[in-house]
Structure formats: structure tokens, C-alpha cells
């Protein structure tokens, strides 16, 4: 959505699950069934029941982390990022003020070359689809400490560029 004055933009990106998390989800599900059946049929008792409960808990957390969406919102010179787990639980990641942003450009842009040799805390809030061509991710360096990778829509990039034209590049 975009307002008449471009002061509010919202973007939702579905993140690709890590293969390890998907494997853990199915492994925990299979273990839960195995421990349940072994508790019932073999009389494994309390120990089998505890292993079943641990497997179900592992499945629950793996399932939450296998279906992740990131929501980016731009409002009043601030980018807000939320993480949505399994379309049921929302976690606020952070707010990033445009004034504290050093630069924002496509992740493969030559404009970012000045920052390659510096060390930053890297935060990836993108779809994590490494096969996408061209690379849809953007990177911005924030407050001299963080390198944030995300996948904004063209409307979000245009809204940020409208308030900080010397910091935002679209190559």
C-alpha cells in the first residue's frame, strides 16, 4: 500500500526455509510417532512419554521456523521489520531510521564496494532464494554497526529514495 504522499509503504516477503529446519521438522514428527507407538505398544512408560513430548516440542519449533515471512514497513523516515512465524506469531525485529543509514543499494551493486572490507553484524531478512536472477535483495549499512539484507518492493525503495536521494541507489 502506498499513500498519496509516499509516507507509508508495506511489503511482505516469504522466506525460503533452511533445508536443515525442514529435515528437523520431519525427523521430529517421525520420532514423535515412533515414541508414541513404542510407549503404547512396548510399554516404555514415563521415559517414552517424555521422549514423545520432547519430539512434539521439537516438531512445533521446527514447524514455526520452516514457514517464515518478513514484513517491511516504511513510515515517517523509518523502516520497520517484523518476522512472522508460521502465519501465527509475530516478532518485531527492529526499527531503522533513514538518517542513520549510510547507504542502501542492490546487494550486488558497486556502490557497496567501500564497505566490503569492514566488519559488520550481518542480518539477513530476505527470502534467502540464492537462485533468483537478478538478485532481488538490497543491502543497507546502519549506524556503522549492522549490514541489513532485505527484499523491499520497488515502492518501498522509491519511498526511501524520496527522503534520502544521496543514500539510496537503484543501479
Asked if residue 146 and residue 75 are part of one domain, the reply reads: yes
pLDDT at 139: 94
Instruction: Inform me whether the pLDDT recorded for 4 exceeds 60.
Output: no
The better pLDDT of the pair 60, 17 is held by 60
Instruction: Inform me whether the pLDDT recorded for 3 exceeds 50.
Output: no
Asked if residue 130 and residue 145 are part of one domain, the reply reads: yes
Domain with 55, as residue range(s), is 19-66
The reply to whether 171 falls in a domain is no
Asked if residue 103 and residue 143 are part of one domain, the reply reads: yes
pLDDT digits (tens, 9 = 90+) for 113-141: 999 888 999 999 998 777 767 888 999 99
This prediction has a pTM of 0.79
pLDDT at 2: 43
pLDDT digits (tens, 9 = 90+) for 45-76: 788 889 999 999 999 999 988 889 999 999 98
For every residue of the chain, DSSP letters joined together read -B-TTS-EEEEEEEEPPPHHHHHHHHHHHHHHHHHHHHHHHS--HHHHHHHHHHHHHHHHHHHHHHSEEEEEEEESSEEEEEEEETTTEEEEEEEEEGGGEEEEEETT-GGGGGGTTS--EEEEES---TT-SS---EEEEETTTEEEEE---HHHHHHHHHH-TTTB---
Per-residue pLDDT band for 1 (boundaries 50, 70, 90) equals very low
State the total domains in the chain: 2
Cell numbers found for residue 46: 514415563
pLDDT at 32: 94
Asked if residue 120 and residue 62 are part of one domain, the reply reads: no
Instruction: Inform me whether the pLDDT recorded for 5 exceeds 70.
Output: no
Asked if residue 141 and residue 71 are part of one domain, the reply reads: yes
Asked if residue 156 and residue 102 are part of one domain, the reply reads: yes
Amino acid at each position: 500500500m502506498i499513500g498519496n504522499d509516499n509516507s507509508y509503504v508495506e511489503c511482505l516477503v516469504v522466506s525460503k526455509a533452511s533445508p536443515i529446519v525442514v529435515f528437523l521438522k520431519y525427523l521430529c514428527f517421525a520420532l514423535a510417532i515412533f515414541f508414541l507407538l513404542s510407549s503404547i505398544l512396548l510399554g516404555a512408560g514415563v521415559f517414552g512419554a517424555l521422549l514423545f513430548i520432547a519430539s512434539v516440542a521439537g516438531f512445533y519449533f521446527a514447524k514455526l521456523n520452516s514457514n517464515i515471512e518478513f514484513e517491511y514497513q516504511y513510515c515517517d523516515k523509518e523502516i520497520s521489520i517484523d518476522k512472522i512465524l508460521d502465519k501465527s506469531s509475530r516478532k518485531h525485529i527492529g526499527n531503522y531510521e533513514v538518517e542513520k543509514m549510510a547507504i542502501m543499494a542492490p546487494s550486488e551493486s558497486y556502490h557497496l564496494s567501500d564497505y566490503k572490507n569492514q566488519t559488520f553484524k550481518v542480518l539477513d531478512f530476505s527470502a534467502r532464494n540464492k537462485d533468483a536472477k537478478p538478485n532481488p535483495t538490497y543491502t543497507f549499512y546502519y549506524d556503522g554497526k549492522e549490514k541489513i539484507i532485505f527484499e523491499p518492493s520497488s515502492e518501498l525503495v522509491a519511498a526511501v529514495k524520496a527522503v534520502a536521494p544521496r543514500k539510496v541507489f537503484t543501479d
